[in-house]
Copies of this chain bind each other. A is one copy, B any other.
Amino acid sequence: MNARVVLAYSGGLDTSVAIPYLSKMTGGDVIAVSLDLGQGGEDMESVRQRALDCGAVESIVVDAKDEFAEEYCLPTIKANGMYMKQYPLVSAISRPLIVKHLVEAAQEHGGTHVSHGCTGKGNDQVRFEVSFRALDPSLEIIAPARDYAWTRDKAIAFAEEVNLPIEQSASSPFSIDQNVWGRAVETGFLEDLWNPPTKDLYAYTEDPAMGNAPDEVVISFDKGTPVAVDGKKMTVLQVIEELNKRAGAQGIGRLDMVEDRLVGIKSREVYEAPGAVVLIKAHEALEDVTIERELARYKRLTDARWGEEVYDGLWFSPLKRSLDAFVDSTQETVTGDIRLTLHAGTATVTGRRSSESLYSFDLATYDTGDTFDQTAAKGFVQLHGLSTQISNQRDREGGFPTGNEKYAQ
């Protein structure tokens, strides 16, 4: 059987050259698949045509913006998905969706292989390949950059050799991945951790120091899903786009972090994710009002695990699905409005209202109308601390530490 390679095609130099390369290497055909995830840039029809020009036998373009927003960004909002407490999983959640469409294309067009352009030291190879095998282990995987040390220089040489109809753009120092959920940038001078990011790194956000006037926004959620901005009904995609624009104008959502990659190394990453950062902040603030304490405490743990699982390329794993079941069960009552002030790099929650609020003015107020039974507290405090009291009594008598020793730094 002839090889038919389904390639994750971006339209850039590397994957364009990969088309004839894969064809030559396998002696088979190449099918290019490109997804519109809201990354902007050139129009998708040009991308589609370029693949054909480079020799693809099929070139498929999928408008996956809404699917991405509703089935990948939305679960991330519900799980407050932030790897290392800060990174909203921009690239991590796009890979499984790309894979899903590649596998569908392979199944429809008789694909035998799938291919991606990732290197062997990043996370994306993991996300691609674990997802490929999770969805269809019969497809063989080709990763030229990793398995054949296929570098940019080799790609350019090969492009010339086969007379590829693409212009070689001036070499950019940046390695960029972007979609509607955010933008990731790596570049040489950031590899020195003491260097600050420079202004030209950013495209989704303005400089927070610009001094724009503050912008007040109200985001409405229904069962954990953002459904309106300033009272105007929107799809999830539209909410993200609106907040990208408004939070981006205020310089919100810039991240500069040292990240623990799954392959075992630390790397410096710069991200922009204005909409994502604001949405998760608002969602958390609404959860604070609508989710009971112990459930909220436990959800913070599972949220963190969810983020690690997705970061580690395990979107399609059994654990991820069961964590989703947990998360989904908590979102029934996460309904209401969050008001935020967007300004100079910061989104500040200034108000919340919810028909499902667990906040009770009558129980909380120190003014007239207080219904809290303070007499219950005395006994509560006594038994809440009893096991500590007994344990510390034992420790004192036995000469063990009880915690009020001088702290040894």
Contacts and interface: CB of A to CB of B under 8 A. Distances in A.
A265 interface: yes
A133 interface: yes
Interface in A321-377: 321-326, 328-330, 332-333, 339, 341, 343-346, 348-353, 355-361, 363-367, 370, 372-377
Interface size class of A (residues with CB under 8 A): 35 or more
A241 B61 CA distance: 57
A349 B256 contact: yes
Contact of A291 (B119, B318, B333): B318
Interface stretch (A6-14, A19-27, A158-166, A192-200): A192-200
A320 interface: yes
Contacts of A234: none
Given A344-B208, A364-B266, A292 B384 contact: no
B381 A378 contact: no
Name the residue among A96, A223, A356 with the largest chain B CB count within 10 angstroms.
A356
Nearest to A335: B398
Contacts of A62: none
A352 B383 CA distance: 25
Contacts of A28: none
Contacts of A149: 374
B323 A326 contact: yes
Contact of A351 (B194, B297, B376, B383): B194
B329 A390 contact: no
A103 B375 CA distance: 25
A377 B383 contact: yes
Given A137-B393, A263-B383, 16 more contacts: A84-B300, A130-B381, A146-B375, A266-B360, A291-B318, A301-B304, A313-B384, A317-B388, A325-B329, A332-B400, A333-B400, A373-B382, A376-B382, A378-B379, A380-B380, A380-B384
